[in-house]
């Protein structure tokens, strides 16, 4: 092999890296994105069809299907119910875990390790592990089919506590010392300094909890059995189950509306989650 051919090869290789490679990668990724998104696109197309569904051509029945889904599935009411639960739990968890982490980091707490271990135990005990007794407890205290029963059992959060505890450790001690010198009490410090600098973590936790609660299925299926408290995911099940023949247009129109709120939250807060996670992966 002589020098000229090697040189040509090197030039070709460089050109490939600079021009052709990005083009090919764009094609590959475009195909991948299309494949991953195709089921959703097909669902959107189906939600516009009425009489002879199944083709790839969009129809004009979207509004009819949507009205049908909202009428038969009471989707508007269920969205309201689910918003109450998802917002309630997300906010409740954020408040409780900030207060808990604040106590553990900025005060002398005797038995702090034991308390932390107790709260960490929740990681070992997901709902399925205690579902029958928890349901019986709710029956005994009259919380079945109430928003209290759908939210309060979820307020305790090892995830949130750890997240904020880890973050508070990275907040410079000078800030708290300065606050104390200025005569600010603990709550002043919490509200006017600590919470504002925790924005990213609050956003990340809000995203995780909102999406988790919005998509919950098993607990609402057991606990929220009337329309007063019924959650959207169960509404989707009822749209599937009401007829012997599934009306795909209606079902897809209903399902698409239900996806929108968590999708909006994801789009708005995805950067918070990314940087919140990046911060917490630095310990690896």
Partner 1 sequence: MNVVFPNRILPYLLLAPSILLVLVFFIYPAAQSVELSLYRVNRVRDAKIYVGLENFERLYESDSYRNSLTVSAKFTAAVVVAALSISLALAVGASQPIKGFGLYRTLLIWTYALSPAIAGVIWALLTDPAIGILTDLLEKFGFVFNWRRSKDHALIFVIMAATWKILGYNILFFLAGLKNIPRDVIDAAALDGANAWTRFWRMTLPLLTPVVLFLLIMNTLYASFETFGLIDVTTQGGPGRATDLLIYRLYLDGFRSSSRIGLASAQSIVLLVIVATLTLFQYRFINRRTFYQ
List the interface residues with partner 1, window 61-80 (CB under 8 A): none
3-class SS at 82? helix
x/- letters, 83..122, toward partner 1 (CB under 8 A): -------------xx-xx-xxxxxxxx-----x--xx-xx
Give me the least distance between CB of 76 and partner 1, in Å please.
Answer: 18
Binding of residue 43 to partner 1 (CB under 8 A): yes
Q: Which of 104, 103, 100 is nearest to 92 (CA)?
A: 100
3-class SS at 183? coil
According to CB under 8 A, which one of 135, 146, 147, 148 is a site residue for partner 1? Answer: 135
Binding of residue 6 to partner 1 (CB under 8 A): no
3-class SS at 15? helix
Interacting positions 140-179 with partner 1 (CB under 8 A): 152-153, 155-159, 161-163, 166, 169, 173, 176-177
According to CB under 8 A, which one of 73, 88, 203, 262 is a site residue for partner 1? Answer: 262
Q: Which residues contact 87 (CB under 8 A, 6 or more apart)?
A: 210
According to CB under 8 A, which one of 2, 56, 57, 196 is a site residue for partner 1? Answer: 56
Binding of residue 9 to partner 1 (CB under 8 A): no
Nearer of residues 77 and 127 to partner 1, judged by Cβ: 127
- The residue count for binding partner 1 (CB under 8 A) is 106
Interacting positions 196-255 with partner 1 (CB under 8 A): 204, 208-209, 211-212, 214-215, 217-218, 221-222, 233, 236-237, 240, 246, 248, 251-252, 255
State how far the alpha carbon of 269 is from the alpha carbons of 110, 113, 196, 241, 276, in Å. Answer: 37, 32, 16, 34, 10
Total count of residues recorded for the chain: 284
Q: Which residues contact 115 (CB under 8 A, 6 or more apart)?
A: 104, 109
State how far the alpha carbon of 103 is from the alpha carbons of 108, 168, 222, 258, in Å. Answer: 8, 11, 35, 38
According to CB under 8 A, which one of 88, 198, 265, 272 is a site residue for partner 1? Answer: 265
């Amino acid at each position: 092999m002589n020098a000229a051919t090697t040189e040509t090869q090197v030039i070709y290789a460089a050109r490939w890296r600079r021009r052709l490679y990005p083009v090919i990668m764009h094609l590959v990724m475009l195909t991948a994105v299309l494949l991953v998104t195709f089921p959703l696109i097909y669902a959107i197309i189906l939600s516009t069809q009425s009489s002879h569904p199944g083709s790839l051509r969009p129809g004009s029945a979207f509004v009819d299907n949507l009205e049908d889904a909202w009428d038969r599935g009471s989707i508007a009411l269920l969205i309201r119910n689910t918003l109450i639960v998802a917002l309630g739990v997300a906010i409740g968890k954020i408040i409780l875990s900030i207060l808990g982490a604040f106590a553990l980091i900025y005060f002398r707490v005797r038995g702090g390790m034991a308390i932390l271990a107790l709260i960490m135990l929740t990681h070992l005990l997901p709902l399925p592990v205690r579902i029958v007794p928890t349901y019986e407890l709710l029956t005994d205290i009259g919380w079945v089919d109430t928003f209290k029963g759908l939210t309060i059992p979820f307020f305790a959060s090892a995830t949130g506590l750890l997240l904020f505890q880890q973050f508070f450790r990275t907040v410079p001690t000078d800030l708290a010392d300065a606050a104390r010198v200025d005569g600010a009490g603990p709550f002043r410090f919490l509200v006017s300094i600590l919470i504002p600098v925790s924005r990213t973590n609050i956003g990340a936790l809000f995203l995780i909890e909102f999406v988790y609660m919005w998509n919950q299925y098993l607990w609402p299926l057991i606990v929220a059995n009337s329309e007063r408290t019924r959650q959207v995911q169960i509404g989707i099940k009822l749209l599937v189950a009401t007829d012997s023949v599934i009306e795909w247009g209606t079902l897809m129109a209903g399902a698409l509306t239900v996806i929108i709120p968590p999708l909006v939250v994801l789009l708005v807060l995805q950067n918070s989650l990314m940087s919140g996670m990046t911060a917490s992966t630095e310990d690896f």
